[in-house]
Structure 1
C-alpha cells in the first residue's frame, strides 16, 4: 500500500502488524513538495508489486494538479481510503484529530441505548457468575501469596477512579505493590518496577489483580467489559494533552476492555492516546460479537497466549 501524507504516524507495533497484511508499505509526503515530484514517486510506487491502494493520510491542502492526478488514478482502478476509515477497518481504532478543528467524528460516539445497556447488564451478571465460579480458588491463592510476600499492607486496594459521566467511585483490586508505593504522588508502573512484589507482578501480567472488581460490577459502578477505569489525577493530566479524552466516560469502565487486550500496558500520555482510540472504537461499534471477542482475547491474555 501507499501512504500519502503524514497526518497519522503508525507505531512500530502497528507497522509490524501491517506488514503481515501488506507486503510493502511506501510513505510519500507531499507537504511543501513539488507536485511533479510527488506524482513521480506515486507512479514509481504503483509499478512496484502492482499496488492498488492509497491511504489518504492528509492534513495539509493538496495542490490542484495532484488532486487531478489522483482522480485519474481512480479511473484506472486504484482504490483510495482515508486514514480515519483505514484505522477503523484494519486497525480497529478511531482516529483522534491532533487539534480541535474537526469534531465531526464525535457524532458517532454516543452512550449506550436502553436496549444496549440492558444487554450489557445481562452480560455483566452472567459473566460475574461464571467468573466467580471459576476464579474463587485463584482469589484465595492470591490472598495467600499477598499475605506471604507483603504482609505489612492490606490485601485489597481501594482507589478512587473515574466512572460513568466523570463521577468518582471506589475501585477494588488486589494490592500488587508494597505499602505506600507512591508516597502521595501517582506515577505509572514500569517494567520490572521495584515497587511491585513478585506475586504482584504475576497478578498484573495476568490481570488477576482485577478480580475483586466483581463487587464493583454487582454494585453497578462498572461493567464486565469497558474502558479501563482511570484515576482523577491522570484524567486531569490527559485532558490537557489529548483531545476528547473525556469521551471514554460516556460509558461505565470495565474489568477488561478492547484497549486492554489490543494495546500494551500504558506508561505515558502517548500510550493513553493510543488506548483512547481503541476505547472510542469499542463505544462506536459496540456489539455482542465484539464483547465475545474481548472475552476470548482476555482469556488468552490470562493464560499467557
Structure 2
C-alpha cells in the first residue's frame, strides 16, 4: 500500500484497489488524518479507487486538473465531505456534475460511523461534530446488562486465573525488588479518581524522572513484566477494581490525571469518555495499535465514543472475542 502523506506534503493522493466489491470511486475532501492503515485496507475492499484530498490553500484549478482524469473511468462516485469546509466541497461537486457522473454525498461524520465504525473527532479542538452529544452516556437499558456481563465474566475469570496470580507473585518477587502490586491514580467515571491496581511490570524507580507513557521495548520493564504486558496478565488485578465498582470489564482505558488534563485541552470531546466507567479492555484497545501522546489519544477516542454511542451486546461480545485473540498472541483486528 502506498503511503498516505500529511496534508502539507501532498495535494491529491489516490489509491487503487484490486479487490473492491464495486466499481465506485470514493473521494474524501476533508483532512485525511483520521484514516489509519486498517481503515484504508477496509475501504480498498469496498471501493475501486480512493482519492484523498486534504484541505489545502493551493490553486483550485490545480485541484481540478489532478482529480478530473481520475474520474473519467468511473460512473459512480461517493463524495465524503466536511461541511465546515464548504468551499472545497463545492469545487469537487461541480467538477463531478460537469462530467455527468452519478454521485452520492455523505458527511465525514456519518461516513466514519457507518463505514469505519468510529466517531469522527476533529483535529482542531475548535471544530465541532454535530453527531456528538457531550452528555452521551449509558442509560439503564445498557447499564443493567453490562453489570450482569461484568459480574458473570469477572467472577469466572478470577477463579480461572488464580494459578496465574500465584505464578505472577512468584516471578515478580524473583526478578524485581519491590511490591508485587502496583497502585496508580487513574481518572474514572465523572472525572472521579480511583486507585488502579495491577501486577507491577516495571522497576520501582521507573518514574524517577517524572510521569511518562510506556513504550515498546521499554528498558524499565523487567523480563517477566514484559511477558505480563504482552499477555495482559498484568491487568488481572483490575478485577478487584471491577468488584469495587471503579471500572467495568469493557470501556475506555482509564488514564492518569496528568495526561487527561492535557487531552481535555487539546482533543475535542475528550471529556465525553468520562461519562461512563473505564474498562480493563475496550473497543479502542482492540482496534488501534499501541501508541501514546495526543495523536494516538485522539484516534483511540474515535473508537471509545463509537462504543458509547453504538453499544450493543453484540459489540460487547466482539470486543471480548478480540481481546482473547490479543491475549493469545494474535492481533485484535
| Range that drifts further, 63-72 or 289-298 | 63-72
1:236-277 per-residue CA deviation (whole Å, 9 max, x = no partner) reads 121221122111100001110001101122221111111111
User: Cα distance, 1:86 vs. partner?
Assistant: 1.7
Q: Secondary structure at the match of 1:52?
A: strand
2:251–2:282 CA contact under 8 A, matched in 1:
yes
Among candidates 14, 26, 31, match of residue 51 of structure 2: 26
User: Cα distance, 1:224 vs. partner?
Assistant: 0.6
Q: Secondary structure at the match of 1:172?
A: strand
Output aligned runs, 1:1-305, within 5 Å.
1-9=25-33, 10-28=35-53, 31-32=56-57, 37-48=62-73, 52-57=77-82, 59-62=84-87, 66=91, 69=94, 72=97, 76-97=101-122, 98-102=124-128, 104-107=130-133, 110-150=136-176, 152-183=177-208, 185-305=210-330
RMSD over equivalenced CA pairs, Å: 2.6
User: Cα distance, 1:49 vs. partner?
Assistant: 5.6
C-alpha spacing 1:94/1:29, structure 2 compared with 1 (3 Å): closer
TM-score between the two structures when normalised by the length of structure 1: 0.89
C-alpha spacing 1:219/1:23, structure 2 compared with 1 (3 Å): same
Q: Secondary structure at the match of 2:49?
A: coil
User: Cα distance, 1:31 vs. partner?
Assistant: 4.5
Gaps of 5+ in 2: 1-24
User: Cα distance, 1:93 vs. partner?
Assistant: 1.2
Instruction: Report the Cα distance in structure 2 between the residues aligned to 1:207 and 1:104, rounded to whole angstroms.
Output: 37
- Tell me the matched-pair count: 304
User: Cα distance, 1:167 vs. partner?
Assistant: 0.3
2:184–2:197 CA contact under 8 A, matched in 1:
yes
Instruction: Report the Cα distance in structure 1 between the residues aligned to 2:72 and 2:96, rounded to whole angstroms.
Output: 18
Q: Secondary structure at the match of 1:53?
A: strand
| Range that drifts further, 114-123 or 135-144 | 135-144
User: Cα distance, 1:19 vs. partner?
Assistant: 3.1
User: Cα distance, 1:63 vs. partner?
Assistant: 6.5
C-alpha spacing 1:201/1:48, structure 2 compared with 1 (3 Å): farther
Q: Secondary structure at the match of 1:62?
A: helix
TM-score between the two structures when normalised by the length of structure 2: 0.82
Instruction: Report the Cα distance in structure 1 between the residues aligned to 2:98 and 2:328, rounded to whole angstroms.
Output: 48
Higher helix share: 1
| Range that drifts further, 29-38 or 170-179 | 29-38
User: Cα distance, 1:60 vs. partner?
Assistant: 2.6
Q: Secondary structure at the match of 1:55?
A: strand
User: Cα distance, 1:74 vs. partner?
Assistant: 11
1:161-220 per-residue CA deviation (whole Å, 9 max, x = no partner) reads 100100001111111101121116110111111001111111112211111111111111
Instruction: Report the Cα distance in structure 2 between the residues aligned to 1:65 and 1:25, rounded to whole angstroms.
Output: 19
User: Cα distance, 1:82 vs. partner?
Assistant: 1.8
User: Cα distance, 1:65 vs. partner?
Assistant: 6.3
Gaps of 5+ in 1: none
1:112-147 per-residue CA deviation (whole Å, 9 max, x = no partner) reads 112211111111101112212322212221222211
Q: Which residue of 1 aligns with 2:15?
A: none
2:77–2:101 CA contact under 8 A, matched in 1:
no
C-alpha spacing 1:30/1:170, structure 2 compared with 1 (3 Å): closer
